[in-house]
């Protein structure tokens, strides 16, 4: 099954939903139109009980080369243009999705591309991927989660280095920093990503959501409270009585 949008390709194969960014002439730069298409597709994924996992990729030579800076020229200010881009809470939809999310990146993964990546549960990159967070160098700060998700994965020292300098780095560094969990050859990326997504889609119903709850909420708690949450969540997921 495939649904056509203007800026993404959305398809469903078995129990896996596949959302591919599709503005190849702009290296999949994130635009207002892409935001709207992304939001509609994520709503469909959340509502479809047959879907067990979501795979996010990019078509063409890049995963996502960042925000579409050409849109800034038609807005009264950069702030207004940037705020318009986030008026639909795509990032909140990703955070709240109770299904495993696999993100597979290649080519350029810049700015908004990194922010999408960091909201995935399993993150895989082609070995030749180029990463960067250039917002500060452009007179902005990340406004789609990067200032929070990047240090949560890399630690504050590495995050500040990447955010202050906006420097580019490769997949090997991204793996060392904890931004991605796996690196594969460019030709292996899509098959590997599909294999992972299909495996996750076969998890027992509700277990992925339970794990996300235990990890996401528990990570913000003291250890004893997190362990108690884990026990409650596990009991609920398995149908066992709570102690």
Least confident of 22-36, 82-96, 101-115, 164-178: 82-96
Q: Are 217 and 183 members of one domain? A: no
Number of structural domains the chain divides into? 2
Range of the domain at 179: 2-201
Q: Are 133 and 224 members of one domain? A: no
DSSP calls for 127-193:
TT-EEE--TGGGT----SSHHHHHHHHH-HHHHHHHHHH---EEHHHHHHHTS-SEEE-GGGHHHHH
Q: What is the mean pLDDT of residues 233-242?
A: 49
Flag whether 35 is in a domain. Answer: yes
Residue 49: active-site member: no
Q: Are 157 and 134 members of one domain? A: yes
Q: What is the mean pLDDT of residues 46-72?
A: 90
Q: What is the pLDDT of residues 117-163, one digit of tens each?
A: 999 999 999 999 999 998 777 776 666 667 688 888 899 999 999 99
Q: Closest Cα to residue 107, out of 132, 131, 135?
A: 131
Q: Closest Cα to residue 150, out of 89, 136, 139, 234?
A: 136
pLDDT of 95 higher than 80: yes
Flag whether 104 is in a domain. Answer: yes
Phi, psi of 230 (to 5 degrees): -60, -45
> In 124-161, which positions are buried (b, 16+ CB within 10 angstroms) versus exposed (e)?
bbbeebbbbbbbbeeeeebbbbbbebbbebbeeebbee
Q: What's the confidence (pLDDT) of residue 22? A: 95
Flag whether 219 is in a domain. Answer: yes
Q: What is the mean pLDDT of residues 201-216?
A: 69
Q: Are 160 and 187 members of one domain? A: yes
Residue 115: active-site member: yes
Question: Mean pLDDT: which of 30-34, 105-109, 110-114 is highest?
Answer: 105-109
Task: Calculate the alpha carbon distances from 161 to 88, 118, 179 in Å.
Answer: 30, 17, 14
Q: Are 55 and 108 members of one domain? A: yes
Least confident of 49-58, 112-121, 128-137: 128-137
Q: Are 184 and 212 members of one domain? A: no
Q: What's the confidence (pLDDT) of residue 203? A: 85
Q: Which residue among 11, 13, 49, 115 is the active-site one?
A: 115
Predicted structure pTM score: 0.83
pLDDT of 227 higher than 90: no
Flag whether 107 is in a domain. Answer: yes
Flag whether 243 is in a domain. Answer: no
Q: Are 136 and 224 members of one domain? A: no
Q: Are 117 and 123 in contact (CB under 8 A)?
A: yes
Q: Are 56 and 114 members of one domain? A: yes
pLDDT of 66 higher than 80: yes
pLDDT of 13 higher than 80: yes
Flag whether 21 is in a domain. Answer: yes
Q: Which residue among 13, 135, 173, 195 is the active-site one?
A: 135
Q: How confident is the model at residue 165 (pLDDT cuts 50, 70, 90)?
A: very high
| CATH label of the domain that carries residue 184 | 3.90.226.10
Long-range contacts for 140-147 (Cβ within 8 Å, ≥24 apart)? 140/78, 140/82, 142/111, 142/115, 143/82, 143/83, 143/86, 144/86, 144/91, 144/112, 144/115, 145/91, 145/115, 145/118, 145/119, 146/111, 146/114, 146/115, 146/118
Q: Are 128 and 222 members of one domain? A: no
Flag whether 71 is in a domain. Answer: yes
Q: What is the mean pLDDT of residues 71-85?
A: 50
Q: What is the mean pLDDT of residues 18-26?
A: 95
Flag whether 178 is in a domain. Answer: yes
Q: Are 66 and 166 members of one domain? A: yes
Q: What is the mean pLDDT of residues 194-198?
A: 96
Q: Are 107 and 223 members of one domain? A: no
pLDDT of 201 higher than 70: yes
Q: Are 42 and 138 members of one domain? A: yes
């Amino acid at each position: 099954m495939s649904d056509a949008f203007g800026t993404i390709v959305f398809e469903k194969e078995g129990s896996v939903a596949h959302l591919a960014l599709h503005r190849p002439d702009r290296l999949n730069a994130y635009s207002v139109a892409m935001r709207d298409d992304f939001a509609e597709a994520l709503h469909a994924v959340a509502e479809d009980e047959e879907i067990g996992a979501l795979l996010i990729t990019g078509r063409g030579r890049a995963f996502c080369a960042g925000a579409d800076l050409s849109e800034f020229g038609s807005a009264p200010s950069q702030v207004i243009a940037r705020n318009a881009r986030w008026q639909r809470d795509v990032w909140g939809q990703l955070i709240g999705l109770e299904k495993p999310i696999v993100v597979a990146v290649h080519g350029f993964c810049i700015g908004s591309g990194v922010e999408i990546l960091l909201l995935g549960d399993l993150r895989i990159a082609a070995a030749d991927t180029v990463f960067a967070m250039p917002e500060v160098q452009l007179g902005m700060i990340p406004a789609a989660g990067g200032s929070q998700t990047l240090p949560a994965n890399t630690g504050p020292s590495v995050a500040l280095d990447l955010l202050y300098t906006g420097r580019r780095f490769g997949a090997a560094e991204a793996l060392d920093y904890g931004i991605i969990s796996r690196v594969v050859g460019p030709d292996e990326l899509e098959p590997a990503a599909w294999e992972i997504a299909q495996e996750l889609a076969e998890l027992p119903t509700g277990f992925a959501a339970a794990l996300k709850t235990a990890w996401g909420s528990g990570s913000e708690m003291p250890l004893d409270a997190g362990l108690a949450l884990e026990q409650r969540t596990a009991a609920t997921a398995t149908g066992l009585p709570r102690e």
